[in-house]
Amino acid sequence: MLQWLSDYISNLPSYFVISLIVMTTIALFGIYFGYRIERLSPKDKPSKTITLILLAIDGINKFVKNYIGKHWTYVTPFALTMGIYVFLSNIMGVIAVESPTQFTAITFSMSITAFIVIQSTGIISQGWRHFLGVFQPLAPLAPLNIVSEFVPIVSMALRLFGNIASGALLLGLLYRVSGWFSIIITPAFHLVFDIGFGTIQTLVIVLLTIIFASMKVKEEDFQ
């Protein structure tokens, strides 16, 4: 049994292991700073790090609330966690580590998570009436509406995969061609492809999740 478990772990894809490390890091930081924030009293002066975290979370809460309405408390944790995970995964190339998001297994996992958040937001807001939306504006359009509900899974996954994988491929070719000169040449390309494109794709997947979820919320919940 132990030998089987050892063989299984040793044969895990590298991107899967890196993904687990990223998720574990996020969880540990969340637990640590959550504990510190929870222990703060109104009279305490928070550190600069805690202040920045609180300001960032407050800004994200307000942003999501503008789109989701009263159900922002449900969507925000998913959107924030997804954003942090995707961003950290996208920039792994900066530290010469394989980016998990250049593999479709990871990007489809993210888009499926977004799909679940979107649909569950509609269920929370509208109840069973959420499913009647596929018959709008006309009942004969139901098959097309059903397909359109699942299209974002593919589009978000392939968009994230294509951008990150293409950047990693170009950087890999650049390292092969430039040789020792890569130390001088590649930092600027890492800045563009890893950090620049990585940040943009993080914003895209998070914003799309929030916008699609807002479309499932009934008008009364925005008041």
What is d(CA 197, CA 92) in angstroms, rounded to the nearest whole number?
Answer: 12
What is d(CA 52, CA 46) in angstroms, rounded to the nearest whole number?
Answer: 10
pLDDT digits (tens, 9 = 90+) for 84-96: 999 999 998 888 8
Confidence grade of residue 19 (pLDDT, cut at 50, 70, 90): very high
For residue 162 the two structure tokens come to 């294509």
Of 114, 78, 98, whose CA–CA distance to 164 is shortest? 98
Question: So what's the pLDDT on residue 8?
Answer: 66
Q: Does pLDDT of 125 surpass 70? A: yes
Q: Does pLDDT of 44 surpass 80? A: no
Question: So what's the pLDDT on residue 1?
Answer: 62
Question: So what's the pLDDT on residue 161?
Answer: 93
CA dist 97 to 15, 38, 90, 123, 198, Å? 9, 34, 10, 39, 14
Q: Does pLDDT of 6 surpass 80? A: no
Confidence grade of residue 108 (pLDDT, cut at 50, 70, 90): very high
What number is the average pLDDT over the span 93-121?
Answer: 91
For residue 153 the two structure tokens come to 């899974």
For residue 85, give its domain range: 2-222
What is d(CA 142, CA 134) in angstroms, rounded to the nearest whole number?
Answer: 5
> Phi and psi for 44 in degrees, rounded to 5?
-75, 145
What is d(CA 216, CA 210) in angstroms, rounded to the nearest whole number?
Answer: 10
- CB-hemisphere CA count at 13 Å for 205? 38
pLDDT digits (tens, 9 = 90+) for 189-221: 888 888 998 999 999 999 999 999 998 888 887
Confidence grade of residue 138 (pLDDT, cut at 50, 70, 90): confident
Counting the structural domains of the chain, the total is 1
Can you give the three-state secondary structure of the chain, one letter per residue? CHHHHHHHHHCCCHHHHHHHHHHHHHHHHHHHHHHHHHCCCCCCCCCHHHHHHHHHHHHHHHHHHHHHHHHHHHHHHHHHHHHHHHHHHHHHHHHCCCCHHHCHHHHHHHHHHHHHHHHHHHHHHHHHHHHHHHHCCCHHHHHHHHHHHHHHHHHHHHHHHHHHHHHHHHHHHHHHHHHHHHHHHHHHHHHHHHHHHHHHHHHHHHHHHHHHHHCCCCHHHHC
pTM: 0.89
Instruction: Write the CB contacts of 80 (distance below 8 Å, at least 6 apart in sequence).
Output: 57, 60
Question: So what's the pLDDT on residue 209?
Answer: 93
